[in-house]
Chains A and B, each alone.
Chain A
Amino acid sequence: MQTNLSTNPKQGRSVNDAFASHFAKSMFLSILALGILTFIGTRMFTHIDLNLYGYMIGTIVFIGGFFYRFIAWGERPPTKIIIKKGLKQLFRKSTPKTAAEHLVTYKFIWHRGIYRWLQHFLIGGGCILSCFVTFPLVFGWMYFTMDDNGYYTVVGLGMNLMKVSADGIIAFFFYNALNITAVMVITGVCMALYRRLKNMQARAEQKFMYDFLPLYMLLFISVTGLLLTFMNVVLHGWGQPVMSLIHQFSVIVTLIYLPFGKLAHIPFRPMSVFARNYREHYSEEAEKECKVCGSHFVSVEQSQDVIDVLGLNNMEFFKKEGFHLAELCLPCRRKYRIAQFSGIATHEIKVKEANQNAKG
């Protein structure tokens, strides 16, 4: 038993590094935070909207799934490095700009195509705005009281924020926020579905489970949500109780599915801000010189990180010439490969690579 322990390769890793420990810790802290916020927001649990308790349970199940997926993902060596070093650079001066471009305006998608940007902006904006409305209502962080007749008091985290006329324009947007976002999401999803039916490349690659299912689920949520309003306003509430259960079901199923399918890119996307900060910070610190031609191509830190990650995967690209392939700039690395085939040291010949873009 003793010898067994001493030969354990993972010796030195305490139980606190285990997946289950990370999971339990994250779950505990999140639910504690939710509980405290709800305690404050609902004025000591006196203003809970029990009509929405299904969403509350659904959210907690979602958090479980989210941590399961996210922590397992964070165990991968390259992911761990980006998260760790990205967090350290979180307070760079450029962070707000990068975050706005990556998470709010989706500038990089604009460059991939304006149609795709518009559909993504409608779906993404609609979903995120809906979340900002729904979750505060579910956990009682925001609710409405009517002290004076005809005037709603908006209560945010237990504080009276403002008084709005019940017939006013602001109140109109409060009542219809989810209707507006539903129309945004439906428009965006229809654009996405149209693209998937028409675009030949999309048709070649798409799969029902990965590409269509999330779109159908968002459509299901938005349509049932809009039907709720329709039943209230036009049908005077006929069928509304049943439809509200169907809507609740659609939202909870989507929440549980979210961390495991295409929609998982929503909570993971802030990683791109980490990656940008990581690259910018370490490039300012020290640039790596190509071991053959001497040109700068990446930061010293990232080159070393990639070498380490490859090492963990039992990939050692150390060459007899005395460099690791990750220490060569890309053209030199390609020429080095040609050199292996031909026996002529192409990478040592100081001639720029010729015509690599087929433009004649």
Chain B
Amino acid sequence: MKKRLYLELENCIGCRSCLAACTQCGGHEERNRNYVYDVNPLVNRQTMPLMCLHCVNPACARSCPAQAIQIHETGAVLSALVEKCIGCQNCTIACPYGIPKFDTEQNLMYKCDLCIDRSKDGIPPMCASVCPSNTLQWLTDEEIEAKQKQFNLDNGKWVTSMPYLEGETNVRVNLPGILQGVTKLF
């Protein structure tokens, strides 16, 4: 059963558990690869997480001269292969979401790999495992569809991912109803 990461952005309470959990994933060497942003920091406390959305046609891999960024059969866009990455940082410039990080000392790019050691066996990635507010969830396509029905929004406002992203992604992002001025029905 193929599951995907599903973000329900408005649920985020800014606890940064996902960042902490990311550091604990095997191979991440205690450095997190995701972000949490204040949406309107001088006005309110709304936060939103941002992580690699695992594009179907990833700009980072397209711009890599060394073919170091590989795509796993599950669709996850992997962190650069350590022996291939030549440290040009094209990927950090190409990514439309600004996700890849770069370690100048190790001359190596690193990015979210959807905790591939876990997710390839159907175990949710660290961030989704710990999220206390259900902002990050690990769901099948059917479950995501069921969510749409549950929200019961007949006004076309329930959207996942497009057109608010640059292309098709494997991660599904749900738009925050509250900030769009739409009441979300739990």
Contact = CB atoms under 8 A, between A and B. Distances in A.
Interface of A: 73, 76, 78-79, 81-83, 102, 108, 111-112, 200-201, 204-205, 262, 265, 268-269, 271-272, 274-276, 278-279, 298, 302-303, 305-306, 309-310, 313, 315, 317, 325-326, 328-335, 337-338, 340-344, 346, 349, 351, 353-358
Interface residues of B, number: 62
Given A343-B179, A355-B16, A317 B40 contact: no
Contacts, number: 172
Contact of B19 (A111, A338, A351, A358): A358
Interface of B: 9, 16, 19-20, 22-23, 26-27, 31-32, 35-42, 46, 48, 50, 57, 59, 62-67, 82-84, 86-90, 92-99, 103, 105-108, 116-117, 120, 164-167, 173, 175-176, 179-180
B117 A201 contact: yes
Contacts of B62: 78, 309-310, 313, 315
B43 to A, nearest CB: 8
A112 B65 contact: no
Contacts of A78: 62-65, 90
Nearest to B28: A201
A326 B100 CA distance: 13
Q: A interface, by DSSP: helix, strand, loop or mixed?
A: helix
Q: Which 9 A-B pairs have the closest CB atoms?
A: A204-B117, A333-B98, A358-B19, A201-B27, A275-B88, A108-B107, A272-B86, A330-B98, A201-B26
A210 to B, nearest CB: 9
B22 A341 contact: no
A309 B88 contact: no
A56 to B, nearest CB: 29
A310 B97 CA distance: 14
B167 A315 contact: yes
Contacts of A331: 98
A351 B41 contact: yes
Contacts of B88: 82, 275, 278-279, 302
Nearest to A309: B63
5 contacts: A82-B88, A276-B87, A309-B90, A341-B164, A351-B38
A2 B9 CA distance: 57
Q: B interface, by DSSP: helix, strand, loop or mixed?
A: loop
A330 B37 CA distance: 13
Given A306-B94, A310-B63, A358-B16, A108 B108 contact: yes
A83 B67 CA distance: 14
B100 to A, nearest CB: 8
Contact of A342 (B48, B92, B94, B105): B48
Contacts of A315: 57, 59, 62, 166-167
A298 B42 contact: no
A328 B96 CA distance: 9
B38 A302 contact: no
A272 B57 CA distance: 25
Nearest to A354: B38
Given A108-B105, A343-B180, 17 more contacts: A79-B65, A82-B88, A83-B65, A108-B87, A108-B107, A108-B108, A111-B105, A112-B108, A200-B117, A204-B26, A303-B93, A306-B90, A310-B62, A341-B173, A351-B38, A354-B38, A356-B35
Given A108-B107, A276-B87, A341-B164, A76 B179 contact: no
A298 B93 contact: yes
A334 B97 contact: yes
A70 B20 CA distance: 41
A309 B164 contact: no
A108 B106 contact: yes
Contacts of B32: 356-358
Contacts of A340: 164-165
Given A204-B26, A268-B66, A356 B84 contact: no
Interface hub of A83, A275, A276, A303 (most chain B Cβ within 10 A):
A275
B23 A306 contact: no
A343 B165 CA distance: 13
